[in-house]
């Protein structure tokens, strides 16, 4: 479970990631709820949606990410508004099957192989009301296909870990397998504790990227029709050089 090692640093390294928040809240508002986020992680997007008055459920299979979500939910006093579920998105089965919106937010869908995508889309359709919306948000596959091996660690940031006071330097290396449409990103953390102790933490994430023509049949196969394809959070159309690929699909009635 790769997020086990990453969880303790996740919020710090994503502290500046806010550009998808208004977009997600707007989608949730127009769906009206209830909303399910698959791969909710530490809950970054759950709280603003819940604070906007939407009934929200977050599902994740990382005990470490979910533990942080539970803590944050308590801190924010959102226990009545946010349900947290521990499950694998490829085979989840929840009591509630009337979700108006299901989100696969910021790059979560990149973690899935083709078979896992199909299984996740099918489980999603089984938990949605007819006409419900599905939103998938990933890095533009054309950009990912341009990534090349980067074997020398590239330092991304240094921050103070608020839990331990340690100074953490985060670097990454990448390995691109063009034939398989897979990029492996290794996250490397050098942790220097205030008492002088040093620790090295490594976590590898695999990104599977799919082009629109590959998403389409997977969506159709699971009972969705594609409604829009955007290239960023401002509803601009998808193109080869847009930063994101945002797919909005509807569950067929």
Note whether 40 binds ligand SAM by CB under 6 A. yes
Q: How far is the CB of 193 from ligand SAM (least distance, A)?
A: 26
Can you tell me which of 44, 123, 208, 244 binds ligand SAM, judged by CB under 6 A? Answer: 44
User: Which 11-30 positions form the footprint of ligand SAM (CB under 6 A)?
Assistant: 14
Q: How far is the CB of 41 from ligand SAM (least distance, A)?
A: 3
Strand blocks (E) in 7-127: 35-38, 56-60, 82-86, 99-104
CA 34 – CA 1 distance, rounded (Å)? 28
Omega cis (within 30) before 34 = yes
Helix 212-221 to helix 114-126 angle, to the nearest 10 degrees?
40
Note whether 140 binds ligand SAM by CB under 6 A. no
Can you tell me which of 55, 61, 124, 140 binds ligand SAM, judged by CB under 6 A? Answer: 61
Can you tell me which of 33, 34, 41, 231 binds ligand SAM, judged by CB under 6 A? Answer: 41
How many chain residues bind ligand SAM (CB under 6 A)?
Answer: 19
Strand blocks (E) in the chain: 35-38, 56-60, 82-86, 99-104, 128-139, 150-160, 167-177, 182-192, 198-208, 224-230, 244-251
Can you tell me which of 107, 129, 172, 174 binds ligand SAM, judged by CB under 6 A? Answer: 107
Residue 107, judged by CB atoms within 10 A of its CB (0-12, 13-18, 19+), counts as middle
Q: How far is the CB of 173 from ligand SAM (least distance, A)?
A: 18
Note whether 60 binds ligand SAM by CB under 6 A. yes
Can you tell me which of 23, 47, 99, 106 binds ligand SAM, judged by CB under 6 A? Answer: 106
Q: How far is the CB of 16 from ligand SAM (least distance, A)?
A: 12
Can you tell me which of 88, 161, 190, 214 binds ligand SAM, judged by CB under 6 A? Answer: 88
Q: What angle do CA 118, 88, 145 make, to 5 degrees?
A: 50
CA 111 – CA 90 distance, rounded (Å)? 11
User: Which 142-201 positions form the footprint of ligand SAM (CB under 6 A)?
Assistant: none
Note whether 85 binds ligand SAM by CB under 6 A. no
Asked if 133 and 253 touch (Cβ cutoff 8 Å), the reply is no
Q: What angle do CA 51, 53, 54 make, to 5 degrees?
A: 105
Provide the terminal-to-terminal Cα distance of the chain, rounded to the nearest Å. Answer: 36
Can you tell me which of 90, 124, 140, 170 binds ligand SAM, judged by CB under 6 A? Answer: 90
- Which residues would be at the binding site for ligand SAM (CB under 6 A)? 3, 14, 39-41, 44-45, 60-62, 65, 88-90, 105-108, 111
């Amino acid at each position: 479970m790769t997020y086990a090692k990453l969880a303790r640093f996740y919020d710090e390294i994503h502290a500046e990631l806010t550009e998808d928040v208004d977009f997600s809240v707007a989608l949730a508002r127009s769906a009206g709820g209830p909303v399910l986020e698959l791969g909710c992680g530490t809950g970054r997007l759950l709280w603003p949606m819940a604070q906007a008055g939407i009934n929200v459920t977050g599902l994740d299979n990382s005990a470490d990410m979910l533990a942080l979500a539970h803590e944050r939910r308590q801190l924010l006093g959102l226990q009545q508004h946010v349900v947290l579920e521990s499950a694998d998105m490829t085979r989840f089965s929840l009591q509630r099957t009337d979700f108006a919106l299901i989100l696969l937010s910021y790059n979560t869908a990149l973690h899935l192989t083709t078979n896992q995508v199909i299984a996740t889309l099918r489980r999603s359709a089984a938990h949605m009301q007819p006409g419900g919306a599905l939103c998938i948000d990933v890095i533009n596959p054309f950009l990912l296909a341009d990534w090349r091996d980067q074997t020398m660690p590239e330092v991304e940031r240094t921050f103070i870990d608020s839990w331990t006071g340690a100074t953490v330097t985060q670097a990454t290396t990448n390995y691109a397998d063009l034939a398989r449409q897979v990029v492996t990103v290794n996250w490397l953390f050098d942790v220097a504790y205030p008492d002088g102790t040093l620790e090295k933490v490594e976590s590898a994430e695999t990104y599977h990227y799919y082009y629109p023509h590959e998403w389409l049949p997977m969506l159709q196969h699971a009972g969705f029709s594609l409604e829009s394809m955007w290239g960023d959070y401002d509803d601009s159309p998808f193109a080869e050089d847009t930063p994101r690929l945002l797919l909005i699909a509807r569950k067929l009635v």
